[in-house]
């Protein structure tokens, strides 16, 4: 399906998502097979996503994001803000929740440093149990 004003040089959102998945996968030093194993998505389907040939569903994007240890919204945010060729301009998107999350992470790190070693281990154990 062609959209008005489409040219062969125009990229689709699927292209940006694919480039983002590839970049995040490589940043994590995952092979395509390792990402397939972690996400439960076939290697060939992941390859097609990375090449912009497939439009992944939200369930597939969530599985990929989880395997890469990034929030799904961050994966989409990065796809929309591809550094080389932005799909959207930064001012068009806002991830206030991510800013809050980063503030919370800093606060948690500061509080953790003040804990006694035994309490720190207890907190770490609780965090691990929450992640199961």
pLDDT score, position 106: 81
Q: Is the dihedral of CA 15, 75, 55, 53 positive or negative?
A: positive
pLDDT band at 132 (very low <50, low <70, confident <90, very high): low
Note the pLDDT tens digit of each residue in 63-121: 999 999 888 887 887 777 665 655 555 454 454 445 557 777 888 888 888 888 888 88
pLDDT score, position 100: 55
How far apart, in whole angstroms, are the C-alpha atoms of residue 6 and residue 73?
Answer: 27
How far apart, in whole angstroms, are the C-alpha atoms of residue 13 and residue 21?
Answer: 12
pLDDT band at 43 (very low <50, low <70, confident <90, very high): very high
pLDDT band at 27 (very low <50, low <70, confident <90, very high): confident
Q: Which two tokens stand for residue 20?
A: 């983002």
Average pLDDT, the chain: 79
Q: Which residue has the tokens 């940006």?
A: 16
The CATH class of 13-91 is mainly alpha
Give me the residue spans of the domains in the chain: 13-91, 96-130
Percentage of the chain lying above the pLDDT 70 cut: 73
Contact 83, 92 (CB under 8 A): no
Note the pTM of the prediction, 2 decimals: 0.58
């Amino acid at each position: 399906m062609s959209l008005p004003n489409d040219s062969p040089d125009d990229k689709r959102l699927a292209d940006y998502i694919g480039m983002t998945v590839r970049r995040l996968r490589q940043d994590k030093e995952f092979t395509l097979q390792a990402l397939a194993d972690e996400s439960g998505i076939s290697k060939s389907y992941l390859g097609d996503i990375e090449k912009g040939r497939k439009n992944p569903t939200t369930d597939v994007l969530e599985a990929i994001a989880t395997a890469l240890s990034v929030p799904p919204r961050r994966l989409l945010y990065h796809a929309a803000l591809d550094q080389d060729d932005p799909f959207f301009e930064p001012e068009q998107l806002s991830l206030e929740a991510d800013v809050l999350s980063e503030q919370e992470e800093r606060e948690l790190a500061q509080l953790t440093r003040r804990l006694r070693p035994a309490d720190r281990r207890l907190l770490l154990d609780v965090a691990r149990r929450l992640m199961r």
